[in-house]
Amino acid sequence: MTGLAVEARDRTATRPMLEVDLLAVARNTRLLADRAGELMAVVKADGFGHGALDVARTALAHGATRLGVTSLEEAWPLRDAGLVAPVLSWLNPVDADFATAVARRIDLAVPSTRHLAAIAAVPGRARVHLHVDAGMARDGAEPASWGALCRAARRAELRGEVEVVGVMGHLGCADDPTDSCNALARTRFAWALETARATGLRPRHRHLAATAATLTDPRTHHTMSRVGAGLVGIDPSRTTVLHPAMTLTAPLVSVRRVRAGTPVGYGHAHRTATATHLGLVPLGYADGLPRRASHRAEVQVRGVRRPVVGLLSMDQLVVDLGVSGVEAGETVTVFGPGGAGEPTVAEWAAWGGTIEHDVVTGIGARVARRTRAVPHLRSLA
């Protein structure tokens, strides 16, 4: 477990701080690796907002064998940092820099014959994963073009231009394992594999499942799972206890005493019901807190939950502290894993009418970040 020394990006305790707990990532990785065939750690969107390199290193040290990202721009920093694990990039325009990708041994997903032609044309032998649309009309080749893509890929393989190492699909409804859309997608993926085989391709890696299906449906597992959300403690299927890895705190900038009936914030959207104390927290929607969570959200101060009142502003929010005696400078927990009664990312997502992924990937750049390293433990169970 080298390379996991505490990486304190900012130790100042007097400003908003996002702390990422890599022990949580390590535990989640272990659990998911036990359920999956091979485990690809998906570290797109800066590791779902948790730091792509931190999540990648931790996942590789605890059961993942490879990495996944969307664009090539997300792949370069992994190689720049010296990571040598296989990396798959699956969302690129046809004129992306495939030459550099092949030179830097980035595996490429291929969703069309145009992509295939562009990849086959660059020097070297590209490692490719043919990508089929398993039924969500998003990325991946449509079924009508799949046979032609497989045949073209086989010809390119025989010419030595590419090596087809994988076939991939993605599930559109895996959050709800009972949705009949999943059976259709499994059937389409099986058909895509048969078609590839019939053209002479022998892809070693066959991968359909992301977090939800890895946790709920072994029929989707094939040889590998591509897991992102689960690594950072988000289970879209809500079937499994994972460990959320983010804690967001901030100092109270000020505390003021107000009378009953005091209007608070823009539009005077809230009026205090009683005499109380209002605390000011320097975090707002520009920092990624959903504005729609206004009038619903809570934060934790001195171990007690307190309501956020009025509309969230761009840079700040107001908390009703009651008669608690809380003072300026004390720390407010906006969200955390929930073990000490603090609000969770899942609650903020519900208050904001969105999903956890949206909250964790949206925390703004001006929030300082700090990483808690994995302690040297023999067992993380």
Q: Can residue 20 be called a binding residue for ligand PLP (CB under 6 A)?
A: no
Amino acid identity for residue 110 in this structure: V
The alpha carbon of residue 15 and the mean position of all alpha carbons in its chain are separated, in whole angstroms, by 25
Residue 212 CA to residue 246 CA, distance in Å, equals 20
Q: State in angstroms the smallest separation of the CB of 146 from ligand PLP.
A: 17
Tokens of 188: 């389409």
Which value, to the nearest 10 degrees, does the dihedral of the CA atoms of residues 293, 295, 300, 304 take?
Answer: -150
Tokens of 132: 């089929």
Q: Which of 22, 28, 44, 52 is catalytic?
A: 44
Residue 306 CA to residue 276 CA, distance in Å, equals 12
Q: State in angstroms the smallest separation of the CB of 261 from ligand PLP.
A: 46
89-118: contacts with ligand PLP (CB under 6 A): 90
For the chain, the maximum distance between any two Cα atoms, rounded to a whole number of angstroms, is 80
Q: What is the DSSP-derived secondary structure letter of residue 161?
A: S
Residue number with CB closer to ligand PLP (62 or 170): 170
* Sole window of 9-17, 54-62, 223-231, 286-294 interacting with ligand PLP (rule: CB under 6 A): 223-231
SS3 358: helix
One character per residue 231-250, x = contact with ligand PLP (rule: CB under 6 A): -----x--------------
Q: Which of 14, 94, 266, 338 is catalytic?
A: 266
Figure out which of the listed residues 135, 230, 233, 310 binds ligand PLP, where binding follows CB under 6 A: 230
Query: Catalytic residue at 375?
Result: no
Amino acid identity for residue 329 in this structure: G
51-90: contacts with ligand PLP (CB under 6 A): 90
Figure out which of the listed residues 135, 228, 288, 290 binds ligand PLP, where binding follows CB under 6 A: 228
Cα angle 214, 217, 221 (rounded to 5 degrees) comes to 55
Tokens of 292: 């729609």
Query: Catalytic residue at 310?
Result: no
* Sole window of 189-197, 227-235, 301-309, 334-342 interacting with ligand PLP (rule: CB under 6 A): 227-235
- Catalog residues that contact ligand PLP under the rule CB under 6 A: 42, 44, 90, 170, 210-211, 226-230, 236
Catalytic residue IDs = 44, 266
